[in-house]
């Protein structure tokens, strides 16, 4: 069983624990209480038919529930709830469970919808850039900031934006374009730049904005509805040194032949110098705005064509001479069609990281964060190249480790706790030592903020605590069942053989056939095969390769295979059509009723053996742990469930 599904089903069953009657102790396992509310709600969730609410069935379920709690107790006694694997998995579930209880919206959903709305519009903008390295000192950052402010003041004073850009911008392309970036849409610029551009009106100039490249001024020159994507085909003749005139004459000749009625596909195959597309009519993959930013002439011509089939005049780019034919225009799809793919892009974009940082700052305020910069700076000063290798160790004064690095909700977190966190969570990194240490500090702070937030939720929402408990116990149950039952049985070949020999009578079978089953969904191919079968021909290897699946020769009982059931149970080759899937069934011989072989019954043997192992294990747990049922609480449970 898949672990995620197993745990979800378990949790859905117990979602309502925090409601209803005051909890009473139903039973104790090694003096640890299990309460009536938990059992009542689990029972109601798992039993919906009126006939299920009898004393007998409730008592049966109580036995199962007691066994479940015994298994969880054993998992905890082995420390399975303290492993790193468990902690990571539980954290994933815990973070998801928090979402309905916290005030802020799901940022990924919000940013995905924002990106989609922006994809509907294209913005044309120019910019001025003053570069700053990510690791720039405060002094260098101030110098860059003063430069961009000075440029801003010049423009506000009446100077031409392009003139100032050519004089001060650090963008290498400014010499050729005066800072003009052309049209772009969402997810094509760094997020702070995109934010500024989409919030400006035409003609408006932004205040200085900071991105990972430095400081920018942005001027929006135009906005228009997005043109979506285009799918085009092309014929290209590449230009080399000194052959420009010759190539131009050739492309004009090809164009004249197109105008004269020769087919596009024929001319493309004969002349185009794009080996990847010439034999497929020059067809290119669909592309959107700025996808071919390195070949702006090509993009401009492709988007200028209006109707499918329209052919451009010959034009030149840095790669050579082209003729382009429009195949189709592709509008922006509805949100539902692109939501999953767009969400994946947004999740890997810096906008989510920026949003997370803002959320972190809000939580710091909410939970009274007070940082001790002196201690933080002292630890940061020990960041060195060993951190990049994931092998950093504290080499400073041990007295520092007892000092407070920050406070949350009046609780002090020490430098020693942070240092311990680094030891457990550092990984090899290409970041600078200072950047790697800063990232670890942020993660440590996020973890502690999450713990404080969780404590607040637990105090305010009993249901949240119950859900956390159920997920935690669900993971533990799955883990220990894998160890003790599910994985153990298939690996115990000696035990399986012994179990089979002692229980052969359980594995009797009726009439069977020994058969091979070949499958295809290609009706035309299947009709050809049927003719060969009817003519008595054998199925050759070339035909066998065309079947989508081939089930090897084995024994089949009635009900195991629709294809075998619908075949005549006679030796030979039979063709069968079931729900637009086509089968060739080769029956080698008929098998009389009798006991199945070990291999034939293996799946059922494993299942039965697992059941036996589980019963033996539970019996051992009952010897190991004391179970004390509170009979008064049990009667209360029976009475409450009888009201159903």
DSSP string of 126-137, one letter each residue: EEEEEE--TT--
- Kind and range of the H or E element at 219? strand 214-225
Q: Same structural domain for residues 398 and 467?
A: no
What is d(CA 252, CA 282) in angstroms, rounded to the nearest whole number? Answer: 17
Q: Is the same domain home to 14 and 67?
A: yes
My answer on whether 491 and 605 are in the same domain is yes
Domain-located, residue 426: yes
On whether both 268 and 323 belong to a single domain, the answer is: yes
Name residue 288's beta-bridge partners.
229
**In this predicted structure, which of 128-137, 249-258, 397-406 has the lowest mean pLDDT?**
128-137
Which range is least confidently modeled, 66-80, 100-114, 354-368, 379-393? 100-114
Asked whether residue 335 is domain-assigned, the answer is no
Predicted confidence (pLDDT) at residue 252 exceeds the cutoff of 80: yes
3-state secondary structure of 256: helix
User: Could you say which of 302, 330, 358 is where a domain stops?
Assistant: 330
How many structural domains compose the chain?
5
Same structural domain, 233 and 325 = yes
Tell me the pLDDT of the chain averaged across its residues. 90
Mean pLDDT of 543-568: 91
**Average pLDDT of 160-167?**
96
- Closest by CA to 220, choosing from 255, 251, 254, 180, is 180
The pLDDT-based confidence of 358 (bands split at 50, 70, 90) is confident
- In this prediction, residue 5 has a pLDDT band, given cuts at 50, 70 and 90, of very low
Same structural domain, 219 and 76: no
- Indicate whether 38 and 179 sit together in one domain: no
Does 360 fall in a domain? no
Residue-wise pLDDT tens digits, 263-309:
999 999 999 999 999 999 999 999 999 888 788 899 999 999 999 99
Checking 178-182 for CB contacts under 8 A at 24+ apart, the result is 178/126, 179/126, 179/127, 179/128, 179/219, 180/124, 180/126, 180/221, 181/124, 181/125, 181/126, 181/127, 182/124, 182/290, 182/293, 182/296
Give the residues across from 412 on adjacent strands: 407
Q: What is the pLDDT of residue 542?
A: 79
Residue 431 pLDDT > 90: no
Domain end among 592, 618, 636: 592
- Give the chain's radius of gyration (CA, Å): 36
Local confidence band at 102 (pLDDT 50, 70, 90 cut-offs)? low
Statement: residue 16 has pLDDT above 80: no
The three-class DSSP label of residue 224 is: strand
Mean pLDDT to the nearest integer, 533-547? 81
Q: State which of 225, 254, 279 marks the end of a domain.
A: 225
pLDDT-based confidence at 6, cuts 50/70/90?
very low
**Which of the listed ranges 201-210, 237-246, 576-585 does the model predict with the highest average pLDDT?**
201-210
**Residue 430 — left, alpha, or beta (φ > 0 → left; ψ -120 to 50 → alpha)?**
alpha
Domain that holds residue 305: 229-330
Q: pLDDT class for 183, splitting at 50, 70, 90? A: very high
- State the average pLDDT over residues 408-432: 92
Q: What is the CATH number of the domain that holds 323?
A: 3.10.50.40
Residue at 337 is within a domain: no
Strongest mean pLDDT among 100-109, 115-124, 448-457: 115-124
| Token couple for 27 | 């039973």
Same domain, 496 and 601: yes
Same domain as 571, residue 428 = no
Residue 617 pLDDT exceeds 60: yes
Calculate mean pLDDT across residues 424-451: 90
Residue 158 lies in a domain: yes
Q: Is residue 109 one of the residues assigned to a domain?
A: no
**pLDDT band (50, 70, 90) for residue 22:** low
Predicted confidence band of residue 20 (pLDDT cuts 50, 70, 90): very low
Q: Does 640 fall in a domain?
A: yes
Residue 106: the pLDDT is 73
CATH number of the domain within which 602 lies = 1.10.4030
Let me know whether 553 and 587 are in one domain.
yes
Residue 219 has pLDDT above 90, yes or no: yes
Q: How confident is the model at residue 17 (pLDDT cuts 50, 70, 90)?
A: very low
Q: How confident is the model at residue 7 (pLDDT cuts 50, 70, 90)?
A: very low
- Residue that has been written with the tokens 């003719």 in this structure: 531
- Alpha carbons 473 and 75: distance in angstroms, whole number: 9
Let me know whether 165 and 185 are in one domain.
Answer: yes
- Which range has the worst mean pLDDT, 161-170, 338-347, 382-391, 495-504? 338-347
In a domain, 358, yes or no: no
Both 560 and 497 in a single domain?
no
Which pLDDT band, with edges at 50, 70 and 90, does 14 fall under? very low
Cβ(370)–Cβ(407) below 8 Å: yes
d(CA 63, CA 621): 13
pLDDT at 319 over 80: yes
């Amino acid at each position: 069983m898949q672990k995620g599904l197993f745990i979800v089903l378990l949790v859905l069953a117990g979602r309502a624990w925090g409601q209803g009657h005051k909890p009473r102790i139903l039973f104790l396992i090694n003096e640890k209480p299990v309460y009536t509310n938990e059992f009542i709600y689990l029972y109601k969730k798992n039993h919906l038919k009126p006939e299920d609410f009898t004393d007998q069935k409730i008592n049966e379920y109580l036995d199962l529930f007691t066994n479940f709690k015994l298994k969880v107790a054993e998992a905890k006694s082995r420390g399975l709830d303290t492993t790193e694997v468990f902690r990571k998995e539980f954290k994933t579930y815990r973070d998801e469970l928090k979402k309905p209880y916290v005030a802020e919206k799901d940022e990924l959903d919000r940013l995905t919808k924002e990106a989609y709305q922006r994809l509907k519009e294209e913005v044309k903008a120019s910019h001025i850039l003053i570069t700053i390295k990510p690791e720039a000192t405060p002094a260098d950052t101030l110098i860059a900031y003063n430069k961009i402010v000075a440029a801003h003041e010049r423009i506000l004073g009446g100077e031409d934006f392009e003139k100032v850009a050519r004089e001060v911008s650090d963008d290498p392309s400014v010499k050729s374009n005066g800072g003009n970036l052309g049209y772009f849409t969402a997810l094509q610029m760094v997020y702070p730049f995109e934010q500024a551009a989409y919030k400006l009106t035409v003609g408006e100039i932004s205040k200085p904005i900071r991105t990972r490249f430095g400081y920018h001024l942005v001027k929006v020159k135009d906005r228009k509805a997005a043109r979506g994507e285009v799918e085009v085909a092309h014929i290209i003749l590449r230009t080399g040194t000194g052959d420009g005139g010759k190539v131009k004459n050739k492309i004009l000749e090809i164009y004249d032949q197109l105008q004269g009625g020769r087919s596009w596909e024929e001319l493309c195959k004969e002349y185009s110098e794009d080996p990847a597309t010439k034999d497929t009519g020059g067809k290119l993959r669909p592309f959107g705005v700025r996808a071919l930013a390195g070949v702006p002439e090509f993009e401009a011509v492709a988007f200028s064509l209006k109707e499918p089939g329209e052919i451009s005049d010959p034009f030149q780019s840095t790669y050579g001479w082209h003729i382009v034919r429009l195949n189709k225009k592709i509008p922006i799809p509805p949100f539902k069609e692109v939501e999953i793919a767009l969400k994946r892009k947004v999740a890997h974009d810096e906008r989510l990281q920026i949003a997370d940082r803002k959320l972190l700052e809000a939580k710091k305020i909410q939970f009274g964060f007070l940082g001790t910069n002196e201690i933080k700076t002292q630890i940061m000063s020990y960041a060195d190249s060993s951190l990049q290798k994931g092998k950093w160790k504290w080499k400073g004064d041990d007295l520092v480790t007892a000092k407070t690095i920050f406070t949350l909700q009046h609780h002090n977190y020490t430098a020693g706790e942070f240092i311990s966190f680094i030891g457990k969570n550092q990984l090899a990194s290409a970041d600078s030592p200072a950047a790697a240490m800063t990232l670890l500090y942020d993660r440590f702070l996020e973890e502690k903020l999450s713990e404080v937030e969780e404590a607040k939720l637990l105090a305010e929402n009993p249901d949240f605590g119950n859900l956390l408990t159920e997920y935690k116990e669900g993971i533990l149950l799955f883990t220990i069942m894998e160890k003790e039952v599910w994985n153990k049985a298939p690996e115990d070949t000696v035990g399986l053989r012994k179990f089979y020999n002692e229980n052969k009578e359980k594995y009797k079978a009726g009439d069977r056939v020994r058969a091979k089953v070949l499958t295809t969904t290609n009706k035309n191919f299947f009709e050809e095969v049927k003719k060969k079968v009817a003519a008595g021909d054998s199925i050759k290897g070339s035909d066998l390769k065309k079947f989508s699946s081939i089930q090897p020769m084995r024994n089949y009982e009635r009900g195991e295979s629709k294809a075998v059931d619908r075949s005549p149970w006679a030796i030979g080759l039979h063709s069968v059509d079931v729900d637009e899937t086509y089968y060739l069934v080769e029956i080698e011989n008929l098998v009389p009723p009798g006991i199945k072989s070990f291999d034939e019954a293996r799946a059922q043997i494993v299942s039965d053996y697992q059941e036996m192992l589980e019963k033996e294990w539970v019996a051992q747990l009952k010897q190991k742990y004391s179970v004390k049922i509170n009979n008064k609480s049990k009667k209360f449970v029976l009475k409450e469930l009888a009201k159903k």
